[in-house]
Structure 1
């Protein structure tokens, strides 16, 4: 009994220590964002006076609101494309047992092993030939299909009970009805996980968008933050403003994580149990 309590206490202490280590960078970022410029190197994490006007200046002195809007709405469109295409492809690969279908799945999965940088040049050439450089549409089309999403949903779809599928077929359900009444409800937690993963990836993507997007009105938050750091945070000119912009840029991801947290945990638990 005593040994069990000791192990539990050590586990809680270790988790608390890890949590503090993980939270500290965000705490430092927030505390820096509410400091005055002349107090930045005064020492200590906590400021003498909280300058929340730095957050107001992010929207009045920069184009952060435009960058946020571009990143959010483009990420939402990409999520819709990736989830729909992944559901249809995963259904085919999970239900059709023909050799050529499974061979296609292996070939598609093999392309996931390629480094993303390898695809930059051919993708850039294709997008330039259709005159979609420096447009949101060009970036959306280049990210419309996710091999990871297809694989993730396929692994979830193959765990759907065969009895449920057979009963639905006896009721006259076709492929579309099976997808929307059996497979999607069964995989709702996995789909919620994919929504979060896709949003985080698209929202934080920097290298590929920086090659495509050049005009300021089309820039995403990652490119905008880099420009802000180059113009304002260089040599400590206005580092609190840059930190305030970083803190604001994290809000959409924190909100989405808070909303879908339980579904993500359930999805991962189901995959582990059924593994």
Structure 2
């Protein structure tokens, strides 16, 4: 009986590991195909070889010069960093206010903020466009940032973390004479940096990958983001897969570097979220 139970446990473990390996392959394969294609010459794009037969960096050179890659990457980085910082700041203040102070209608206000997360951005894109155009912010990076300085998703994420923060620590800080502002930044913030960092990574990825709003607001390459530039490699006659994959690899590098820098905080945050 015991032997059969051990055998069953080993079989279940093997099946789980095999499933994890399969899912990992499915997740990694698109990135591998993108990287593999970026080093292939035009004649090998549609070959099924696992590695290029003739390695070339011509796709990267062509992509770098075909569009203002440096300018677009700088625009994307500026918009993503500014938008992420603004969303984190407003979300931290909102989450702390909702968890620390109880005022009339607080539940209603929080519910309305949560409901806005369910509204697709395409629904409010035209009203935002009218406002941005009225302010003269078309073809301006501020026009990309201002409509996205608040994130209902971030408010919800941080609200749950702030709500579970021990109130005794806050009360002890108040007994020591600390103000609410001091409690937030000197007591609560340092203990929730992992959660805030992981939320910031998700916000940064969302801002970096934004396509429809920059496409609507900007029509000049020097004000466009990198995601708009990738579209220039696609045409009705033939898609330039090699240069487009090279440009996509370069567009993916900031996200990969950000994850490598904050890997421990992200994993710790997800583990704590799963154990809570």
TM-score by length of 1: 0.93
The yes-or-no answer on 1:255 pairing with 2:257 is yes
Q: Determine if contact 1:153/1:187 at 8 Å carries over to the other structure.
A: no
- Partners of 1:148 and 1:4 in 2: how far apart? 40
- Partners of 2:10 and 2:57 in 1: how far apart? 44
- Partners of 1:64 and 1:45 in 2: how far apart? 28
Deviates more, 1:29-38 or 1:152-161: 29-38
Question: Equivalent of 1:50, from 25, 46, 55?
Answer: 55
Question: Equivalent of 1:241, from 240, 243, 255?
Answer: 243
Give 1:43 deviation, angstroms: 4.4
CA RMSD of aligned residues (A): 1.6
Give 1:213 deviation, angstroms: 0.9
Matches within 5 A, 1:103-122: 103-122=108-127
Give 1:142 deviation, angstroms: 0.9
- Return 5+ residue gaps in structure 2 as ranges: 1-5
The yes-or-no answer on 1:198 pairing with 2:200 is no
The secondary structure found in structure 2 opposite 1:99 is: coil
Counting matched residue pairs gives: 271
Tell me which stretches of 4 or more aligned residues in structure 1 moved more than 6 Å.
Answer: none
- Partners of 1:34 and 1:173 in 2: how far apart? 58
TM-score by length of 2: 0.93
How far does the alpha carbon of each residue in 1:208-252 deviate from its partner, in whole angstroms, 9 at most, with x for none? 111011111011011000123339xx525x421111111111111
- Partners of 2:243 and 2:112 in 1: how far apart? 47
Partner of 2:128: 123
Question: Equivalent of 1:208, from 197, 213, 233?
Answer: 213
- Partners of 2:108 and 2:44 in 1: how far apart? 62
The yes-or-no answer on 1:78 pairing with 2:83 is yes
Partner of 1:39: 44
